[in-house]
Amino acid sequence: MIRCDGLVKIYKSSDLEVVALQGLDLQVADGELMAIIGSSGSGKSTLLNMLGGLDRPSAGKLFVDGKDMLTMSDRALIRYKRDTVGFVWQNNARNLIPYLTAQENVELPILLKGRRKKTRALELLDAVGLQHRRHNRLSELSGGEQQRVAIAIALANEPKLLLADEPTGSLDSKTANQVLDLFRRLNQEFGLTIVIVTHDPQLARKVDRVVAIRDGRTSSEMIRSANAEENAASDKQEESAAESHVEYAVIDKAGRLQIPAAYLDNEAFKDHTRVRVDWEDGRIVLTPPETVKAER
């Protein structure tokens, strides 16, 4: 569904240039449920905006559903945003019109498709478990209910790709869990490809893969383990994120490897810009400079 090769995004303002993405590589399979995490300024929101057609890459390659996002015409980009992608924002003010009911909010985007808006809106509200609240306005809905209406709106154009920007950022932990469970159910029932940008560590238990971005590049991936899948299938209590997922560092096409920040904070590596790389018994071993000198 998504392929990024050496993706670069540069923002220019007067004499200032900010490089938000610095050669990012990423692939997302059709029907995958995955999350992107990273600290503020890492480039994760920039990537989401480009996937949603809200911004264009500066260089590299970005294909979504076979469409080249770098060379796409303005007219084709409008069709892409209307037909291929759905977006859920953290701020409900961007998702919902407050003086309309839940049903009326969902009906609005359906008009673009020319379908029977009432029938389709009720189907979507039922899919997110809110048909009984269809006549309620925004002020009468809880934060979690508002976010579920927002998800129904994002599904109104029958997208192939659903993007969510910090969808649980303003919710308490219990409500956030309910929203994340909804994403997983939609992924399983409709085969929808879902990409979620978040800072929420709980999310690792709910998705199949978590990609961490650091300094504009993918730095590591956490992939759901087979044991976690078996426990989820048998309704056992899920493990912690560390137990349910296996973390891998990512090597890009140029052979660059981002070492986890926690390792670099270790006294042995702290403040060093060079390491020795050796091949020992089928393993790559990194040795800090002091250790190398001591051995000599």
Give per-residue pLDDT as tens, 163-215.
999 888 778 888 888 888 899 999 998 899 999 998 776 676 788 899 988 88
Tally of CB atoms within 10 A around 242 = 11
Closest CA relative to residue 156, chosen from 179, 128, 180, 184: 128
Q: What's the pLDDT band for 295 if we cut at 50, 70, 90? A: low
Q: Label each residue of 213-240 as H, E or C.
A: EECCEEEEEEEECHHHHHHHHCCCCCCC
**What are the phi and psi torsion angles at 203 (to 5°)?**
-60, -30
Sign of the Cα pseudo-torsion (41, 42, 47, 48, in order): negative
Q: Does domain 2-84+159-258 have CATH number 3.40.50.720?
A: no
User: Considering the chain, what percentage of its residues have pLDDT values greater than 70?
Assistant: 89
Q: Which CB contacts under 8 angstroms, 24+ apart, belong to 235-240?
A: 238/205, 239/205, 240/205
Task: Look up tokens 């000198």; give the residue.
Answer: 293
List the chain domain ranges: 2-84+159-258, 259-296
Global pTM reads 0.83
Give per-residue pLDDT as tens, 137-172.
988 998 889 989 999 999 988 899 999 998 887 788
CA angle 98, 103, 106 (to 5 degrees): 80
Q: Which residues contact 78 (CB under 8 A, 6 or more apart)?
A: none
Query: Structure tokens of 244?
Result: 């349910």
Task: Look up tokens 């303003």; give the residue.
Answer: 170
- End-to-end distance of the chain based on CA atoms, in angstroms? 51
Measure the CA–CA gap between 45 and 211, rounded to whole angstroms.
13
Amino acid at 274: R
Give per-residue pLDDT as tens, 78-92.
999 988 999 998 777
